[in-house]
Structure 1
């Protein structure tokens, strides 16, 4: 019997909760071992690594899961073989591009010379993990996805504690080893997923199957992967730019470079870590919502979609309101887990609107993808990010505002994005039935 929406969601939520608890501990370890400046450098390079992950994955988990769910099991083996061949070629191209581009990136010059080589190792790990992850999502084996998500944090926490408990390093080596634990963690996840995937392929080989044309498989995958990757690339690129924009604005306001790095480290490493903690619920819902909304919209079950949207909003309120209450009134106690008497307490309070609306934006993005409105989601992100970045730089450059001005810009951008997402979803669901049928 196929698991229900809420059964799968509950399974992913439990794994995500455990993972987020460990992420919290990971950042506490990093804050204490790397220090203020080291944490700032670590957090500054993370967006660039996330950008690389988005490129390497090509959003194959989403496209493969959608294709597997739509096609009969007899086509799965052929489809997965074509996916492996395509991913192999894509990975080789990414590695070649990385060898040419990485030495030219000035940001890497602030870190150990071995960092670019570690990032090259990450490319094939992410690319091939995406195939297995997409297949297990498509056949609703959410248990494997939940275990993989749990391993990602558990292994990194164990590695960090082990390394820093038995050894002591200078700042540059400590940052490199901290980043190395990310690659080590992804390798463990890859090995776990690859083991299950190879066993599945052997089982499919023993079952009756039918071949699919390479061109049709690539079209099936890329028709979903490319627009979704475009959206993720924009998010990752803007996220990667944010640390440098913030530091530039603070320095324009008269803050020294080292102090600007420290302030950003506390913003990203402390305030963001605490504020984004409840977002694991939204991200778990996103994984389930995309195929659910796609299926319901294909069948034109508009009432079901409206009811699902209302329930998701109500469910989000149940955890968003208590979360922002804690951020507002217990910010000192929460941020003191990282640094004593930290300005991150004020950052956390000022960012409560940002986190509140962020919890709603994630499931609404899943609705937009499921409704075939990836381009709309992309345009919304472009407009809101542009407005946000302009305000962040202009207000953050003012000596009287500094980080307060940057946070005002962030809050404005997320509110704008949430409103555009909501209005577009409501408009699509309320379109005349005849118009929707003509689209099909």
Structure 2
């Protein structure tokens, strides 16, 4: 079995198990925290994710791309400079977080220790990023897959043990839930760092070359900064979307309570069901970044073209059956959450949105591997602006309401996919029909 397929299957299996464990984790949290506590815990999760994005600067992606492109003789030198660079970044972010987090009023709703737990998360996340980035770049996907499983398993074990033995007030129970999240990241850190240290012994035997720290920092930041910008942009637009939808529905004549209830069915039910298969797309993304980076660094366009065809075919194989199930089994699927819910219609109308996102995620990995991160960012900006405009204009119409909003969302997903696809095809010499524009010599195919 070739390395690409084996790595993809490992990550898909690990991600599926992780999704199942996540379901159990949410069941425990719902039982122990109650509706109010679960709402508070979920409200702080976006802040935790944003903190990790900002402090790691998407180092796993930039490191994996660097490792995949460079000869093994340069790996030790590159990693040594990366560790020093990350240490300096970590110190800076810890100081900033220690000064800024106590000033944010949102955390007043939580236990006083919460702020310092988030500060503790910074070094855990940044140093994990180095090891994960190396294993991704070296295509040791078994370690990445096990780390993904270990994080969910550790969080589940912590929650089960602590909540079985002790009982807590709501504020302390939420703190324990946050501790389980950060504790699981610490367990992953211990694993990946241990594997990384053992791997360094092998790296030393191949390391004869040297590279300057300045060049390492420049190449890492050339990928990290725009990729972080994309993630932040997505986080910001994700936060704006509920308010945009609410404003459009109010304009269409709905009351505030009805508007929020409809958005709750859209996000809490339709999105939960529709994005479940996306763990396959995210597994492809992790494997594709180093694979595409390595092939592009070698100018192996035949391999890039062959790989794109395989990725598109693989996405079709699981994507079309998934949306078929969503459309024809919308009622039993949504009834797992609510009976006779308007989410039935929402799930059916959103089928194009989900399908095109299954294609977009691996194509983002392609753009990163081809050095087109700036293009990915611009595509996201343009598609979001057009999508948001249509969502508000169509959603404000009394005869469309939520259906108009979904039309706008579908249009944004289609537009983003087409821009990504055409840019990739142009870069690697393929026509939109996936036929070579320029035939390249066949090399070592997957």
- TM category (shorter chain) comes to 0.7 to 0.9
The residue that corresponds to 2:223 in the other structure is 224
Pairing 1:124–2:123 present: yes
The residue that corresponds to 2:427 in the other structure is 428
Distance in 2 between residues matched to 1:292 and 1:147, nearest whole Å: 20
8 Å Cα contact 2:18/2:149 also seen in 1: yes
1:154–1:337 Cα change, 3 Å: farther
Shift, 1:226, TM fit? 2.1
Pairing 1:86–2:74 present: no
1:433–1:348 Cα change, 3 Å: closer
Distance in 2 between residues matched to 1:208 and 1:368, nearest whole Å: 29
TM-score normalised to structure 2 length: 0.84
Shift, 1:414, TM fit? 1.2
Distance in 2 between residues matched to 1:35 and 1:266, nearest whole Å: 19
8 Å Cα contact 1:31/1:338 also seen in 2: no
The residue that corresponds to 1:437 in the other structure is none
Pairing 1:180–2:201 present: no
1:13–1:67 Cα change, 3 Å: same
1:55–1:164 Cα change, 3 Å: same
The residue that corresponds to 1:316 in the other structure is 315
1:408–1:111 Cα change, 3 Å: farther
8 Å Cα contact 1:75/1:212 also seen in 2: yes
Distance in 2 between residues matched to 1:422 and 1:112, nearest whole Å: 47
Distance in 1 between residues matched to 2:339 and 2:176, nearest whole Å: 25
Between the two proteins, the alignment pairs up a number of residues equal to 432
Pairing 1:408–2:426 present: no
8 Å Cα contact 1:34/1:174 also seen in 2: yes
Question: Which is further off, 290-299 or 332-341?
Answer: 332-341
The residue that corresponds to 1:157 in the other structure is 156
Distance in 1 between residues matched to 2:243 and 2:103, nearest whole Å: 17
1:13–1:77 Cα change, 3 Å: same
CA RMSD of aligned residues (A): 3.2
Shift, 1:358, TM fit? 0.6
The residue that corresponds to 1:305 in the other structure is 304
1:305–1:201 Cα change, 3 Å: closer
The residue that corresponds to 2:190 in the other structure is 191
Unmatched tracts of structure 2, length 5 or more: 431-436, 440-446
8 Å Cα contact 1:40/1:261 also seen in 2: no
1:17–1:391 Cα change, 3 Å: same
Cα deviation digits, residues 252-274 of structure 1 (max 9, x gap): 765446x7666655544443232
Distance in 2 between residues matched to 1:319 and 1:236, nearest whole Å: 27
Indicate the SS of the match to 1:212: coil
The residue that corresponds to 2:443 in the other structure is none
1:267–1:158 Cα change, 3 Å: farther
Distance in 2 between residues matched to 1:170 and 1:118, nearest whole Å: 19
The residue that corresponds to 2:383 in the other structure is 384
1:297–1:209 Cα change, 3 Å: closer
Distance in 1 between residues matched to 2:142 and 2:403, nearest whole Å: 42
Shift, 1:235, TM fit? 2.0
Cα deviation digits, residues 370-390 of structure 1 (max 9, x gap): 222211111110011122333
8 Å Cα contact 2:16/2:279 also seen in 1: yes
Unmatched tracts of structure 1, length 5 or more: 435-440
Cα deviation digits, residues 186-211 of structure 1 (max 9, x gap): 12111111121223335556776554
Distance in 1 between residues matched to 2:418 and 2:303, nearest whole Å: 22
